């Protein structure tokens, strides 16, 4: 077993981010259709050269744009611009507006308009603006207008989740996940533009999900709601491993909210933010920690029972960022101890020291579930983004 590095050091975090970029760059650049190749085997072999998911396109843009600034790499900036062109020219629905969910080459395979995907569109444009790619201010503003006109429910102060291509059929499903990532995107848009409306919206979303709706869900974040934003306690209970909408409480989303709340607090201090951030974090760890094998389980129900005991890479990444954020905010060493413990588990089990990047899912015992390291949507955005946020906590990145 390789010795543990200093997980709290700038040099380690930057080196890990470089390794993530090296796994994908430049082979991810799709020279035939534009955009990026989405699916990779453990060794980096591309297993699907046609499918391009909106979440992959936008997350690759985020990674490349952020890395271009951090490492002063013009080739990364061009790779981000390459993705922006595909997003603008191919994912964008020129007839009805909005962005297609899945492409096959340059043809739409799934034309559904998902709020979750549009949150990442906004995040991608914000990251691209920070990287100095021209025209992104207008793209951010246009996306805000689209979201206001098509997804925003002013009477609920939350975003709808899923709409048909022509905007005529609105799914009755409502979810916190899209609104959580919209909070992330609004914070990024505020950082990129300085426009207060994005910060205002981030605060509104955080308050609605983490305070008002949480008050009806044992004080923490529940995932699934009906059209009137009443809790749906049974949604996907018969499909607890659903890729985008698993049943139950997700500890990883609670710690992701911890991270986002503490970012919000930097710009908009509120008395409720730190206590709520701590509550979400502590609840997540109390209900997910695997005391036998280490790491964190995936989901649990209102009765406290585990519904998916597997170990997902992104849960550990977001919790690392949350632990660092709480350590930086409170000065309490116990959060750094959580941080080191999770890194050690990840270093032993989740990180591929042969080829690079993170395995996606492990069994409770730590056995990987597939030789597909990166399916559509992964892009190792979570470990890359977590390291970036930790660097910001340490004062080593802006």
**Separation between Cα atoms, residue 180 and residue 119, nearest integer Å:** 9
Residue 293 is encoded by which pair of tokens?
């094998």
Please report, for residues 143, 167, 299, the alpha-carbon distance to residue 149 in angstroms, rounded to integers and kept in the order given. Answer: 10, 10, 34
Rounded to 10 deg, the angle between the 381-393 and 313-330 helix axes is 10
3-state SS record for 125-147: HHHHHHCCCCCHHHHHHHHHHHH
Give which of 225, 150, 137, 240 is closest to 180, Cα–Cα.
Answer: 225
Residues 6+ away with beta carbon under 8 Å from 218: 302
Indicate which residue of 25, 37, 181, 382 is catalytic: 382
Burial of residue 64 (CB within 10 Å: 0-12, 13-18, 19+) is buried
Nearest Cα to Cα of residue 323 among 296, 301, 304: 296
Kindly list the distances between the CA atom of residue 286 and the CA atoms of 278, 282, 283, 290, 300, in Å, as whole numbers in the listed order. 12, 6, 5, 10, 11
Which residue out of 53, 118, 253, 297 is catalytically annotated? 253
| Active site (annotated) includes residue 253 | yes
Q: Which of 89, 76, 97, 113 is nearest to 35 (CA)?
A: 89
Contact 385, 393 (CB under 8 A): no
Strand 51-53 to 102-104 pairing: antiparallel
DSSP 162-191: EE-TTS--B-S-EEHHHHHHHHHHHHHHHH
Rounded Cα–Cα distance for residues 66 and 188 (Å): 11
Hey, what are 140's tokens? Answer: 């951010």
Task: Verify whether residue 91 is a known catalytic residue.
Answer: no
Catalytic residues: 253, 382
């Amino acid at each position: 077993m390789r010795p543990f590095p200093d997980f709290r050091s700038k040099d380690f975090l930057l080196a890990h981010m470089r390794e993530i970029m090296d796994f994908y760059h430049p082979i991810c650049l799709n020279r035939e259709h534009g955009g990026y190749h989405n699916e990779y085997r453990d060794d980096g072999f591309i297993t699907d050269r046609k499918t391009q998911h909106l979440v992959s396109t936008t997350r690759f843009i985020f990674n490349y744009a952020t890395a271009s600034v951090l490492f002063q790499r013009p080739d990364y900036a061009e790779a981000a611009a390459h993705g922006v062109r595909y997003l603008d020219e191919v994912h964008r629905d020129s007839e009805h507006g909005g962005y297609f969910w899945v492409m096959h080459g340059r043809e739409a395979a799934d034309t559904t308009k998902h709020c979750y995907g549009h949150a990442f569109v906004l995040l991608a444009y914000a990251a691209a603006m920070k990287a100095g790619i021209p025209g992104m201010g207008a793209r951010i503003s246009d996306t805000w207008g689209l979201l206001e006109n098509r997804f925003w429910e002013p009477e609920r102060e939350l975003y709808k989740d899923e709409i048909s291509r022509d905007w005529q059929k609105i799914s009755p499903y409502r979810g916190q996940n899209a609104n959580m990532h919209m909070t992330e995107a609004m914070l990024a848009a505020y950082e990129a533009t300085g426009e207060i409306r994005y910060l205002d919206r981030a605060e509104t979303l955080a308050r609605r999900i983490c305070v008002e709706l949480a008050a009806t869900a044992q004080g923490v974040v529940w995932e699934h709601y009906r059209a009137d934003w009443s809790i749906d306690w049974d949604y996907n209970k018969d499909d607890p491993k659903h890729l985008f909408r698993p049943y139950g409480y997700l500890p990883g989303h609670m710690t992701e909210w911890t991270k986002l709340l503490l970012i919000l607090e930097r710009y908009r201090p509120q008395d409720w933010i730190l206590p709520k951030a701590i509550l979400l974090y502590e609840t997540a760890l109390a209900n997910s920690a695997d005391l036998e094998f280490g790491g964190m389980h995936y989901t649990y129900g209102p009765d406290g029972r585990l519904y998916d005991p597997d170990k997902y890479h992104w849960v550990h990444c977001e919790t690392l960022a949350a632990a660092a954020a709480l350590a930086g905010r409170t000065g309490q060493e116990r959060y750094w101890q959580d941080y080191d413990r999770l890194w050690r588990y990840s270093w032993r089990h989740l990180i591929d020291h042969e080829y690079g990047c993170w395995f996606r899912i492990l069994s409770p015992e730590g056995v990987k579930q597939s030789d597909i390291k990166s399916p559509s949507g992964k892009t190792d955005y979570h470990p890359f983004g977590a390291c970036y946020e930790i660097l910001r906590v340490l004062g080593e990145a802006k």
